[in-house]
Amino acid sequence: MEKIHINGKQLFSLLVLFELGTAIVVPLGLSAKQGSWLTILLGLVGGVGLILLYSYLSCLFPGLTLTSYSKKVFGKYVGSLISFAYIVFFIYGAARDLRDSGEFLQTAMYDVTPIFALNALMILTIMYVLYKGLEVLARTGEIYVVIMFLLLGIGCLLILFSGNIELHNLQPLLGKGWNPIITTAYPKMLMFPFGEAICFTMILSNLNKPEIGIKTGIVAIVISGITLCLISALEVSVLGSDIASRSTFPLLTTISKVSIAEFLQRVDIIVVLALITGGFFKTAIFFYAAVIGATDLFKMKKHQNLVVPIGIIILLSSMSIASNFIQHLILGDVALKTIFIVFSFLIPIILLLAELIRKKLSKDQSTLIPN
């Protein structure tokens, strides 16, 4: 495959945009009511552990992607089967995020536009960027991560100045004890959005300075987690825990209540732009991981040949994974507790342990051989 290089700032930008992605608008941890922000912090602790795991695997296999070192550890046939399973997983992740974005846009602005048309427009744009390559996506990410934080910052200031924040809505913090907070944080919050960063195992090998991968990853995950924590606390403080937990898109509902001097109103566009930005990059990174995985598995020289067919599969999958948005959310909740645990945690842990054991045995054997 072609050699592609990105720097630390570009990796940081892509990881932050990916983590924020669709997580900024969906009900994140709100099943824990007033403790939603605390569940995100607990999930963040596990998220740091996961990014350390993914980065360490990349250090053990410099220059290789997850699909490449799976074959190195487990052998050609078992490794190829695992690689194929990851490609399907990445396609599923891209399809889910594309569906999330389409449903949000239809609810917020384009209520008479078919969701297929919205999804098709986004996937066509992503296909164009990915055809140009990861470096183009990464350079674009450097610009849009600034735009994302500007949008979120402006939105938070407008909510603050509108006087809708009621801090008493954040109490009682532990009204039902630690159990709902911990059970929400693990495994659901750990897998979404932090466990989804498994697709960066397909990107870390492209770092021009591999040694900065761990530090960059940790900083990006911490900043993303704190941002999501603040957004969740803001939603509960404005809407109250009951309304926030029942809302399909709580951040949109929160900012729709902004009214300053009966003049500045209807600033929903801020959340819409943030979602378009986050949804685009999250779908694109899952999409890219699937393309690179397939390029590696089928020994192709250029990834461009797979962009269109995989893009079509993602588009059609986004429409077929659920008959409606409620079913889509229910199936997603089940997937976080099953499929994501396998691909985001269990298999990487097995890969790490298998490689460490293999190195230990090789070292022991070498010491037994007489000089």
DSSP assignment of 116-176 equals: HHHHHHHHHHHHHHHHH-HHHHHHHHHHHHHHHHHHHHHHHHHHHHTT---GGGG--TTTT
In tens, the pLDDT along 117-151 reads: 999 999 999 999 999 999 999 999 999 999 999 99
Nearest to 220 by CA among 274, 134, 142: 142
pLDDT at 371 over 60: no
In tens, the pLDDT along 273-315 reads: 999 999 999 999 999 999 999 999 999 988 999 999 999 999 9
Looking at residue 171, its pLDDT comes to 87
Confidence of residue 248 (pLDDT cuts 50, 70, 90): confident
- Averaged over 239-253, what is the pLDDT? 90
Bridge partner list, 259: 265
In tens, the pLDDT along 16-26 reads: 999 999 999 88
For the full predicted model, state whether its pTM sits above 0.85: yes
Question: Between residues 284 and 109, which one has the greater pLDDT?
Answer: 284
pLDDT at 161 over 70: yes
Looking at residue 187, its pLDDT comes to 85
- Averaged over 59-74, what is the pLDDT? 92
Q: How many CA atoms lie within 13 A of 122 on its CB side?
A: 31
pLDDT at 188 over 90: no
- Domain boundaries of the chain, sorted by first residue: 8-348
- Averaged over 33-62, what is the pLDDT? 93
Looking at residue 370, its pLDDT comes to 56
pLDDT at 31 over 70: yes
Q: What is the mean pLDDT of the chain?
A: 91
pLDDT at 1 over 60: no
Looking at residue 93, its pLDDT comes to 97
- Averaged over 335-357, what is the pLDDT? 94
CATH number among 1.10.1270.20, 3.40.640.10, 1.10.4160.10, 3.40.718.10, domain 8-348: 1.10.4160.10
pLDDT at 113 over 60: yes
Tell me if 19 sits within 8 A of 193, measured CB to CB. Answer: yes
3-state SS assignment for residue 193: coil
Cα–Cα distance for residue pair 225/3, rounded to 1 Å:
32
